[in-house]
Amino acid sequence: MSAISDGQMVLTFDNTLEVKEAPPTVYPEIVFDFDKIFSEPLTEENMRNNNSLAILGESLSVLKKMKDNSVQLIFADAPYNIGKDFGNNSDKWESVQAYIEWCKTWIDECMRVLSDTGSMYFMTATQHMPYLDVYVSEKYNVLCRIIWTYDSSGVQSKRIFGSLYEPILMINKNKKASYVFNYDDILVEAKTGATRKLIDYRKKIPQQYSTKKIPGNVWDFSRVRFKMDEYENHPTQKPEALLERIVKTSSNPGDVILDPFSGSFTTSAVASRLRRVSIGIDLNEEYYEIGLRRTGIATERNGKNLEKIKVRKTNAKSKYVRGE
């Protein structure tokens, strides 16, 4: 039986010391009032629970209804203009110029709704990112240029080196703005130094290399495969591990995270698991329904059971692989 407790150590009546694990951090139940960040009511279909809001709609028109400085983190994985099949909407613009102009409009709207201390990560195809990099470098502040790399044993080009990475730009409003960077929450195993039992002589008192380090800007995460539990019926689903790193780094529990091109709602699913508040938007009804299930908002919609039935991504190749 315990007599004295200081949280970690307990002195028992038979005078032995029990070391107790620190109690887990208990966060208060999140109940977020989504209406407070909209300046006008949503006309789009939407469903919500205490910490997730899923919207079936066009992202620019939804963004326009959101107040300035209302979200802490944005992850935007827009269509890449490479001809992917997203069901009822096309991933093809008249010209690269038209695509870039469209991207600039949603980037500006996102930066308006982003909090002054927030960060936005966005993705596009490797060939389009340079145009957007120049645009945001001049207007906002680029914090980091990240490469998401992966291996692939699928169809490979025999004429050029295969494209095995996608760029991610991490930006904030301006150079002087402070931003969240929870590096302690994303430490990875250090591959050199510690494993080779080297001594770090750069320290005042030489000591062994640390076994953990803050990841660099090249992120190696496997793409989502059919056999993985997290697989959803979406052609460009991003891995949960990728979103987990972004959410942990750039937000705290209770913060609001927005994904204006949610697809299979990976961002919202990860945000809920990590006790953040999420807003997800997608045009496609089937993807919206995936979102309702993945966030735990609903298990059925209009009498349809939203249970997961996996279908292989047979029609998901870009025009480069299809050779068009």
Ligand X SMILES: C[S@@+](CC[C@H](N)C(=O)[O-])C[C@H]1O[C@@H](n2cnc3c(N)ncnc32)[C@H](O)[C@@H]1O
- Contacts to ligand X by CB under 6 A: 58-59, 77, 79, 86, 89, 234, 236-238, 261, 263-264, 266, 281-284, 287
Measured from the CB atom, the residue of 89 and 97 that comes closer to ligand X is 89
Minimum Å gap between C-beta 102 and ligand X is 8
Strand 218-220 and strand 256-259: pairing?
A: unpaired
Contact (Cβ atoms closer than 8 angstroms) between residue 207 and residue 200: yes
Collapsing DSSP to helix, strand or coil, 314 comes out as coil
Q: Which amino acid is at 15?
A: N
Strands (E), the chain: 2-5, 9-12, 17-19, 45-48, 52-56, 71-77, 114-123, 141-149, 165-172, 188-189, 199-200, 207-208, 212-213, 218-220, 256-259, 277-282, 300-301, 304-305
Minimum Å gap between C-beta 83 and ligand X is 12
Measured from the CB atom, the residue of 255 and 282 that comes closer to ligand X is 282
Minimum Å gap between C-beta 110 and ligand X is 12
Measured from the CB atom, the residue of 173 and 269 that comes closer to ligand X is 269
Instruction: Determine the Cα–Cα distance for residues 38 and 66; give it in Å rounded to an integer.
Output: 4
Minimum Å gap between C-beta 177 and ligand X is 25
Measured from the CB atom, the residue of 44 and 193 that comes closer to ligand X is 44
| 8-state DSSP, 32 | -
Minimum Å gap between C-beta 205 and ligand X is 46
User: Residue 218's CB: how many other CB atoms inside 10 A?
Assistant: 10
Following DSSP, what letter does each residue of 153-221 receive, concatenated? -S---SSS----EEEEEEEES-TT------GGGG-EE--STTTTT-EETTSSS-EEPPSEE---SEEE-
Measured from the CB atom, the residue of 51 and 59 that comes closer to ligand X is 59
Minimum Å gap between C-beta 231 and ligand X is 11
Q: Is the dihedral of CA 196, 199, 203, 205 positive or negative?
A: positive
Measured from the CB atom, the residue of 82 and 256 that comes closer to ligand X is 82
Q: Which residue minimizes CB distance to ligand X? A: 263
| 8-state DSSP, 289 | H
Measured from the CB atom, the residue of 173 and 237 that comes closer to ligand X is 237
Measured from the CB atom, the residue of 86 and 140 that comes closer to ligand X is 86
User: What does residue 271 show for φ and ψ, rounded to 5 degrees?
Assistant: -60, -45
Half-sphere exposure of 90 (CA within 13 A, CB side): 6
Minimum Å gap between C-beta 172 and ligand X is 21
